[in-house]
Amino acid sequence: MGITMREAYGRALASLGERDERVVVLDADVSKSTRSVVFLERFPERFFNVGIAEGNMMNIAGGLASCGKIPFVNTFSFLLTLRAGEQLRTGVAYPRLNVKVAGAYIGLSDSFDGATHQDVMDIAVTRAMPNMTVLSLSDHVMAARAVRAAAEFDGPVYLRLHRNETPDLSREEDPFTIGKAVLHRDGSDVTLIPTGIMVGKALEAADLLAKEGISAAVLEIHTIKPIDVEAIVKYADQTGALVTAEEHNILGGLGGAVAEVLGEHRPAVLERVGVADTFAESGAYDALLKKYGLTAEAIVAAARKALARRLTWRSRRRGAHEGRKRCI
Amino acid sequence: MSQKTDQELVRRLAERARRLRVSVLEMIYRAQSGHPGGSLSAAEILVTLYEHELRVDPKNPRWPDRDRFVLAKGHAAPALYVELAERGFFLKSELERFRQIDSILQGHPDMKKTPGVDMSTGSLGQGLSVGIGMALAARLDQKDYHVWALLGDGELDEGQVWEAAAYASFHKLTNITAIVDLNHVQLDGSTREVLAMDPVAEKWRAFGWRVIECDGHSVEELLGSYAAAKGEKSGPTVILARTVKGKGVSFMENNAAWHGAAPTEEQFQQAMVELKQSAAAEQTTKPGRDN
Ligand SMILES: Cc1ncc(C[n+]2csc(CCOP(=O)(O)OP(=O)(O)O)c2C)c(N)n1
Ligand SMILES: [Mg+2]
């Protein structure tokens, strides 16, 4: 723990600014919240606070990028992807401009402000935009790494950043490659596929499952797009039962992306842990995670369900085979 | 209204605003979360609207003929909730559950959860447009209710506010009044540091609105402004209410740091002392009180 993802993000931005003069930063009157203020303190001349005007900000970023700058655009994720979503689509993604979009306060992490400020659909929106790369980070170390990776990558990138303190999961020396899943632990019965803060919960779930004699692999997906098809297919083959876990609607997010991969490449049993297509509410963060089913226990229950379904699925398939034989 | 009742009314509402400030800070302190600055600056505006101006029926919150109120600057929800509770839309004890899980009082107004809330808000820049929709519906249904929308001055940065402003005057809507809580502070700092919309009165006039400027902490001036706004029959009116963000608590006043921060216990106690002192001062400086 120690620092939040957003704080690490702000610092990484500032050190990036030191190395690369092309880096410019924009915010829409929430720089203290997004922590882009850390960059402002170091490089006021390369920082643009546009006021409460997200659409304007997104297109200004596009203009800057068209002139060779590397803009990092900041505000709450729902405002970047929805209020300024059309500007993001037409003004950034379509011309494939080199703009980095840093969505702060993702998921339920702005818990007390309530459903207006929470965001359970940013993955769905950005994932559906052609030309977008979508990164969902799981701790402050990875957030800092992702800032550098995004800057080195030529093209629009969406970064998903959490508001609160989260457990440490990665080390400075761990590789971070856009598009590559991270295997946290191997397993043979079921594969847990988490993203963001659900990585920590999935690791806990794997421990709980081990106590029941169930061997669970934990495969983190930080790049939602382009998704690591190879790794998912490999683990579909290895376990045949998978559980996605995300701080996002179960529709259109990581669960949707993995379902698409399985449907196309390796039909397998899939359970999705996430927000069940509902708006949440105000409350303490942990209380919300519990109420909306974003816990290690929920992952364990989903894993059990996936395993049970795999059993009936396989026996039904066997039964179908035998039935066909009898009919002939 | 006689001169005397007038003065009594003004005094009573001013005292109500002071009490609202106490309640707002209690809520934010208890929740350790919320927006004190913009709730305190809007105290007199909300008290005068809900305790004098608005035609609403707490027993029938969805009464079709009621006046509508849209808190475009939704983060001032605590101030709205205090007034709704005061009018009896729900029990005052609900205020203690502000921002807690399963509460009817969300961080930002939620029309599905809170009786008396006419529109869910919290994302700035949308409220005036919603108000226009309500005003258009009144026209269609030939109803005489009036629509009020309270905006922040930082909120004026949003282009949508000006799309709404252009539309309302173009269509000569007279059954809607915008009030701007003109406290010159937004989230990251003062409007002069972030994005000043000055000269703001000229901007509204250029968009075809009649402008009334007043002291947003003066009950008398606010009541007069409401009456004048409703009397205007050629187009929409905006009331630019000059206020102080964090009004009533010395260390919160004009300080962007108190936009969205909860007080510590010590700060809370100090704020309570200051608000009590201001009540005492009120009583000694108003000689007409015992007349
Ligand atoms: C569209 C949108 N952008 C940003 C925010 C975050 N935010 C909440 S309040 C605020 C500042 C509002 O300032 P102002 O309108 O002046 O309100 P007041 O001073 O009355 O509190 C900001 C930027 C938001 N709620 N909605
Ligand atoms: Mg303001």
Range of the domain at A236: 182-315
Atom of ligand 1 nearest to the CA of B158: 1
Q: Are A152 and A14 contained in the same domain? A: yes
pLDDT the model gives residue B1:
53
**Confidence category of residue A318, pLDDT binned at 50, 70, 90:** confident
Helix (H, G, I), strand (E, B) or coil at B216: coil
- Asked if residue A113 has its Cβ within 6 Å of ligand 1, the reply is no
Backbone φ and ψ for B245, nearest 5 degrees, come out as -65, 135
For residue A76, give the nearest of B192, B260, B257, B30 by alpha carbon. Answer: B260
Residues comprising chain B, all counted: 291
Residues A9 and A150 in one domain: yes
Distances (CA, A) of B6 to A19, A165, A173, B10, B212: 66, 54, 73, 6, 21
pLDDT in the model for residue B288: 41
How sure is the predictor about A281, in pLDDT bands with cuts at 50, 70 and 90? Answer: very high
Q: Whose CA is nearest to atom 17 of ligand 1?
A: B152
- Domain-embedded: residue B195: yes
Which residue in the set B105, B106, B187 is minimally distant from A32, CB to CB? Answer: B187
Partner-chain residue, chosen from B74, B100, B113, that has the shortest CB–CB distance to A116: B74
Say if A175 falls within a structural domain.
Answer: no
CA diameter of chain B:
53
Residue A218 has pLDDT above 70, yes or no: yes
Three-state secondary-structure class, residue A174:
coil
- Interchain CB distance below 8 Å, B188 and A281: no
Domain membership flag for residue B291 = no
Which one of B80, B99, B114 makes the best mutation probe of the A interface by having the most chain A beta carbons within 10 Å?
B99
For the record, the structure tokens of A266 come out as 């390796």
Percentage of residues of chain B with pLDDT beyond 90: 93
Domain count, chain A: 2
Residue A324: pLDDT above 80? no
pLDDT of residue B2: 62
Within 10 Å of residue B115's Cβ, how many Cβ atoms?
Answer: 16
The CATH number of the domain holding residue A156 is 3.40.50.970
Beta strand spans in B127-173 (E): 147-152
ipTM for the whole predicted complex goes beyond 0.85: yes
Tell me, what amino acid is at B191?
A: T
Q: Which helix (H) or strand (E) holds B212?
A: strand B210-215
Task: Let me know if residue B52 belongs to a domain.
Answer: yes
Model confidence at B290: pLDDT above 70? no
Q: From edge to edge, which strands make up the β-sheet containing A269-275?
A: A182-185, A216-220, A190-194, A241-249, A269-275
How many whole angstroms separate alpha carbon A167 and alpha carbon A202? 12
Ligand 1 near B258 CB (within 6 A):
no
- Structure-block tokens of residue A221: 């997906």
Digit-coded pLDDT (tens) for A48-73: 999 999 999 999 999 999 999 999 99
B33, B124, B245, best to mutate for ligand 1 pocket (most atoms within 8 Å of CB): B124
Instruction: Name the average pLDDT for chain B.
Output: 95
- pTM for this structure? 0.96
More confident residue, A229 or A314: A229
- Per-residue confidence band for A328, with pLDDT thresholds at 50, 70 and 90: very low
State yes or no: pLDDT of B286 exceeds 70.
no
Judgement on whether residues A121 and A208 belong to the same structural domain of the protein? no
In a domain, A229, yes or no: yes
CATH number of the domain encompassing residue A235: 3.40.50.920
Q: Please tell me the distance in Å from A181's CA to the nearest CA on chain B.
A: 35
Enclosing domain of residue B102? 3-285
Q: How many domains does chain B have?
A: 1
A316 CA to centre of ligand 1 in angstroms = 56
Find where tokens 């596009």 sit. A62
Clarify whether residues A15 and A152 are in a common domain: yes
Give the rounded percent of residues in chain B with a pLDDT score beyond 70: 95
Instruction: Please report the atom of ligand 1 found closest to the CA of residue A52.
Output: 3
Q: What is the pLDDT of residues A28-52, one digit of tens each?
A: 999 999 999 999 999 999 999 999 9
Quote the ligand 2 centre to A120 CA distance (angstroms).
29
Return phi, psi of residue A194, to 5°: -100, 165
